[in-house]
Amino acid sequence: MARDKKGDSRFQTTPSLIDDLSQQDPQRWRTFILLYGPMMRDWMRKAGVKDETEKDDIEQEVLRSVVSSIHSFKFGSGQGSFRGWLRTILRRRVADWMRSKKLEKDEHGRWVGGLVFSDEAIEAQALKEEEDRLRDEGWAIDDQEEDKRLKIRALEMIRSEFEDRTYQMFWSATADGRSTAEIAEDFKVSQAAVRMAKSRVLTRLKQLLPDMQSDTQT
């Protein structure tokens, strides 16, 4: 039987993305940005950041914060999910952006750059009101849909690391929901081979998705 193709080294992780980020490896950070970048930019859009250049600036600040604190992140320590932890960091950086822009609302209720408020006025008027809105409305994220998009991106990244039949057996078992016996019959392999194919891809997927990995911990 042919061996699986080697994957792009840009996406290799050992043993998990969090461990890799703690090692400050540039390749691993590129993986992180490719995987979580679209999600972070969507959060920024929902928070009212429209300009792409400003999104770039906020993203860089988020990455600096993650770099400085990723070593201290641990599941089961009251920090919640990795995605929630990352969302909290981004919200703080968005709040910093609001302070730097000295935002106020126009007659249509939109946030615009305007009068230079004092720090106290921003805290009392703009920031508190906007953070309340984000908590109640803007951050009402469909976690299931978000989770689905993350998994799709991760699967696209690791797809080339496996033989076609290995990946197809995994996909038939997970996405199509077919039984192990049916898949084994179709691919003319043992049921153990089907379970192994599924396990190999899932293991690789969990390396890229910390929350998925934590869900399996006992």
**CATH assignment of the domain containing 180:** 1.10.10
Say whether both 32 and 121 belong to one domain: yes
Q: Which of 124, 141, 158 is the endpoint of a domain?
A: 141
Say if CB 82 and CB 18 are below 8 A apart. Answer: yes
Say whether both 117 and 77 belong to one domain: yes
Say whether both 30 and 90 belong to one domain: yes
What residues are paired with 103 via a beta bridge?
113
User: Using CA atoms, how far apart are residues 99 and 74, in angstroms rounded to an integer?
Assistant: 30
Say whether both 81 and 55 belong to one domain: yes
Give residue 170's pLDDT.
96
User: Using CA atoms, how far apart are residues 73 and 198, in angstroms rounded to an integer?
Assistant: 29
Q: Which residues contact 184 (CB under 8 A, 6 or more apart)?
A: 190, 191, 193, 194
Give residue 169's pLDDT.
97
The predicted model scores a pTM of 0.67
Count of structural domains within the chain? 2
Give residue 190's pLDDT.
96
Say whether both 119 and 51 belong to one domain: yes
Give residue 84's pLDDT.
84
Give residue 44's pLDDT.
87
In a domain, 12, yes or no: no
The SS3 call for residue 112 is strand
Give residue 142's pLDDT.
57
Give residue 72's pLDDT.
79
- Kindly give the confidence (pLDDT) of every residue in the chain, 218 residues in length, as a single tens digit, with 9 standing for 90 and above: 333 444 443 333 334 777 767 777 777 788 889 999 999 998 888 777 888 998 999 999 999 999 888 887 776 555 568 888 888 889 888 878 877 766 555 566 555 655 444 455 444 444 555 555 555 444 444 567 888 889 999 999 999 999 999 999 999 999 999 999 999 999 999 999 999 999 999 999 988 888 775 554 43
Q: Which of 119, 141, 163 is the endpoint of a domain?
A: 141
> What distances in angstroms separate CA 13 from CA 49, 59, 85, 91, 106, one per listed residue?
32, 22, 20, 27, 47
Say if CB 17 and CB 31 are below 8 A apart. Answer: yes
Structural domain for 198, as ranges = 150-215
Length of the chain: 218
Q: Which residues contact 90 (CB under 8 A, 6 or more apart)?
A: 40, 43, 44, 58, 62
Say whether both 30 and 128 belong to one domain: yes
Per DSSP, 113 falls in state E
User: Using CA atoms, how far apart are residues 89 and 33, in angstroms rounded to an integer?
Assistant: 15
Say whether both 69 and 160 belong to one domain: no
Give residue 14's pLDDT.
39
